Amino acid sequence: MLGHIHRDGALTRAELTQRLGVSRSTVGALVADLTQLGLVQEVVPSGVERVGRPSHVVGPHHAGPIAYAVDIDVAHMTVAAVGLGGTVLGREAMPCEPEHTAPETVVRLLVDALPRLRKAASPGAPVAGIGVSVPGTVERHTGHIGVAPNIGWHDVAFGARLAELAPPGLALAVGNDADLAVLAEHHRGGARDIDDVVLLLGRVGVGAGIIAGGRPLRGHDGYAGEIGHNVVNANGPPCHCGNHGCVETYIGEGALMRIAGRDQPPTDEATAAVFADARNGDPAALTAVRCVAESLGRAVASLVNTLNPKCVMLGGYLSELLDIAGEEVERTLRELTLESHPVELIRPSFGPDSALLGAAELAFADLLADPLTAAGSLLN
């Protein structure tokens, strides 16, 4: 019941009865339990004319648990307080300048932000935990970062360092940004009810989050989806990971800047300028956009031929690339895929917040899996 309310917001008792396939009295008992734990609240709709008694509406409690969600990227770090139902109650964004990207500094900055964000929630609201999105390989059981080349991290005990400075007793979880983005979209966004979906997240780097058969595909150590570092040309451009000719060097933001002939770092502003020039007909910018779009089509075709998803989501800067040069992407995709049915290319419904909200899903996971036990420990 709590999962349905978290995913869809307020639902009537009648809707919950139908969804859960139980009796009305059982739904009433479940609502009473969750209400007593401070997880949901019930209201009777007013101002609605209908025959008979109106059904009570059950939604997330206004003072219910929150999660701290953190999204670390090359250009910035966002820390947010998120309530049940995915409501962002407050957020802080801070630039990740080179001097601020050391793991110890990142941990300190995000921990320092927590008391300020706590004020965005209702007084006394318990905290379910902290979920962190990182653009790199993450050992899912320990939060250890194997490599996050675009922010210069290698072999970092991030989870352990966060546990040392975070408020005691808080559950901590760390995940890859693309994995968490597709998790949010599958749970509550545009990939709901789709059992096979890939989200290709393009920021400075490129990674894939994969749902296969309705379950996250993470691999043995949690490193699955690092498509950005598949080598397609050993003589190609150098990559931050130390190899040459990785997929990332052809479809990442750096590739767009290089092909456009712009000798500057691939910041959000610089990428936006290339897109703006392409829309205005600038030849160099248009060439860069179309070239990267064709490479993107090849990358998506490889994913489709390997995983056979129903749809592919293009997140980060790849969403705007699809807007401008979608025909090039789709034409290359049609030419190189073996499937007889078309694969839908869509944009994440949460936009740039997909990874952030996925981090919140990570922090809420224990509560949603076992509300009675988890909520009881939070209240104690």
Question: What pLDDT score does 266 carry?
Answer: 85
70 shares a domain with 145? yes
- Looking from the CA of 279 toward its CB, the CA atoms found within 13 Å total 11
- Looking from the CA of 329 toward its CB, the CA atoms found within 13 Å total 23
- Which domain, by its residues, includes 52? 2-60
CATH code of the domain in which 23 resides: 1.10.10.10
Helices 268-279 and 317-336 cross at an angle (nearest 10°) of: 60
Whether 187 maps to a domain, the answer reads no
**What tens digit of pLDDT does each residue of 23-72 get?**
999 999 999 999 999 999 998 766 555 555 566 799 999 999 999 999 99
31 shares a domain with 109? no
Both tokens of 378, joined, read 């939070």
For the cut 80, the answer to whether the pLDDT of residue 221 exceeds it is: no
Question: What pLDDT score does 201 carry?
Answer: 95
What is the pLDDT averaged over residues 365-378? 85
Question: What pLDDT score does 98 carry?
Answer: 61
Q: Which residue has the higher pLDDT, 339 or 367?
A: 367
263 shares a domain with 201? yes
111 shares a domain with 84? yes
277 shares a domain with 326? yes
Question: What pLDDT score does 101 carry?
Answer: 78
137 shares a domain with 55? no
373 shares a domain with 256? no
How many domains, in total, are found in the chain?
A: 3
301 shares a domain with 264? yes
Question: What pLDDT score does 64 carry?
Answer: 92
pLDDT band at 100 (very low <50, low <70, confident <90, very high): low
What is the pLDDT averaged over residues 119-143? 92
State the SS3 of 31-64: HHHHHHCCCEEEECCCCCCCCCCCCCEEEECCCC
Question: What pLDDT score does 376 carry?
Answer: 67
250 shares a domain with 291? yes
326 shares a domain with 228? yes
What is the pLDDT averaged over residues 195-216? 94
Question: What pLDDT score does 235 carry?
Answer: 92
Q: How far is CA 60 from the centre of its chain?
A: 21
Mean pLDDT, rounded, of the chain: 91
311 shares a domain with 209? yes
What is the pLDDT averaged over residues 191-212? 93
For the cut 60, the answer to whether the pLDDT of residue 337 exceeds it is: yes
What proportion of the chain, given as a percentage, has pLDDT over 90? 78
For the cut 60, the answer to whether the pLDDT of residue 95 exceeds it is: yes
Whether 185 maps to a domain, the answer reads no
Of 35, 60, 85, the domain-final residue: 60
**What tens digit of pLDDT does each residue of 298-324 get?**
999 999 999 999 999 999 999 999 999
